């Protein structure tokens, strides 16, 4: 179980590391007004072209470390609304502050969020977060309490800034979706891939948190690769990623992505693929995505039950799919 970090010096140290992790991704600083009309103040936000988000950080001495984020490149002098905040207490445990640092049994440090979100809209708040957020959930020893929290990312990972960016985008999409009407009929011409529909809704074991922080990045990058090839993709509550045959108006391929090396995780993904494909009138093709070093253990056996296997590997913060270009989706 994760354990919240309450020591003042340690929080200060990790806050510095939190901010440094974004430096290599920053494209430029932009002068804006932060807040809303009538209650804004001048600020310089850090814009990342690669991640598609801006960031503003400020220390409120003796109170908190404030980190605000938004989506899309702001214009100079524009008034920006904040999409989400990841704030840390100055010291101790402050459950009114959304963010915190937490440590696992192996000394890995994670940034977590308690689900305290705002936005000034009806229905947007902690209850929406708890009911709708999909990502990495974990139990955390929070002082004298044990609480369920969302794990944003692994502070020591090369991909930490990307993990944060994905969290920010998910929160914004979740807020937008809360204000829209629910679609009751599936029309494959309208199917889209939504990052806020990838990830888990339930806590994962402590030894799977680190790989879980990378899982959603792998799904999103795989989706981006398919979209670059003009392949129609989508996802929903049951499947994190699928390919749509628009001519036949059906799902043609279903993916399951596994980012750890546990056999039980692989078998669970295989079972999920079998259940999803058996339920369809015209069975889609099943594709299991694994770390590249794991492929040889499963590829031939899974081919016997008509499950294709492709691998991925990391090159620093970039995920690569060596065999993806060889696959056809017609």
Question: Whole-number mean pLDDT of the chain?
Answer: 91
Band of residue 125 on the pLDDT scale cut at 50, 70, 90: confident
Higher per-residue confidence, 56 vs 124: 56
Q: What domains are there in the chain, each with its CATH number?
A: 1-178 (no CATH), 181-330 (3.40.1350)
Task: Give tens-digit pLDDT for 89-122.
Answer: 999 999 999 999 999 999 999 999 999 887 556 6
Query: How high is the pLDDT of residue 116?
Result: 84
Q: How far apart are the C-alpha atoms of 114 and 88, rounded to whole Å?
A: 11
pLDDT (mean) for 77-90: 94
Query: How high is the pLDDT of residue 139?
Result: 97
Pairing mode, strands 2-4 and 137-142:
parallel
Query: How high is the pLDDT of residue 304?
Result: 94
Query: How high is the pLDDT of residue 329?
Result: 85
Query: How high is the pLDDT of residue 35?
Result: 80
Cβ contacts of 239 within 8 Å, gap of 6 or more: 251, 254, 255, 276
Output the six-digit token pair for 135: 């990502």
Query: How high is the pLDDT of residue 122?
Result: 61
pLDDT (mean) for 186-198: 79
The answer to whether 311 and 294 are in contact (CB under 8 A) is yes
């Amino acid at each position: 179980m994760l354990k919240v970090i309450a020591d003042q010096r340690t929080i200060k140290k990790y806050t510095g590391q939190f901010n440094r992790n974004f430096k290599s991704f920053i494209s430029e600083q932009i002068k804006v007004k932060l807040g809303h009309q009538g209650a804004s103040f001048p600020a310089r936000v850090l814009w990342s072209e690669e991640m598609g988000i801006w960031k503003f950080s400020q220390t409120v001495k003796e109170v908190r470390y404030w980190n605000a984020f938004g989506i899309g490149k702001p214009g100079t002098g524009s008034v920006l609304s904040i999409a989400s905040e990841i704030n840390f207490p100055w010291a101790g445990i402050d459950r009114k502050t959304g963010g915190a640092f937490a440590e696992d049994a192996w000394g890995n440090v994670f940034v977590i969020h308690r689900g305290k979100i705002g936005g000034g809209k009806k229905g947007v708040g902690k209850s929406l977060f708890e009911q709708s957020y999909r990502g990495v959930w974990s139990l955390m020893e929070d002082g004298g309490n044990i609480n369920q929290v969302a794990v944003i990312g692994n502070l020591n990972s090369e991909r930490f800034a990307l993990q944060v960016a994905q969290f920010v985008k998910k929160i914004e999409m979740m807020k937008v979706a809360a204000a829209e009407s629910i679609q009751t009929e599936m029309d494959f011409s309208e199917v889209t891939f939504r990052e806020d529909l990838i990830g888990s809704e339930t806590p994962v074991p402590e030894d799977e948190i680190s790989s879980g922080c990378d899982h959603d990045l792998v799904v999103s990058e795989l989706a981006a690769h398919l979209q670059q090839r003009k392949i129609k993709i989508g996802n929903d509550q049951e499947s994190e990623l699928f390919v749509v045959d628009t001519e036949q108006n059906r799902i043609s391929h279903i993916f399951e992505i596994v980012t750890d090396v546990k056999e039980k995780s692989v078998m669970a993904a295989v079972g999920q693929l079998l259940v999803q494909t058996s339920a369809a009138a015209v069975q889609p093709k099943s594709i299991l995505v694994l770390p590249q070093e794991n492929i040889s253990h499963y590829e031939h056996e899974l081919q016997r039950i008509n499950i294709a296997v492709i691998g991925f590997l990391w090159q620093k913060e970039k995920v690569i799919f060596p065999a993806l270009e060889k696959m056809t989706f017609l």
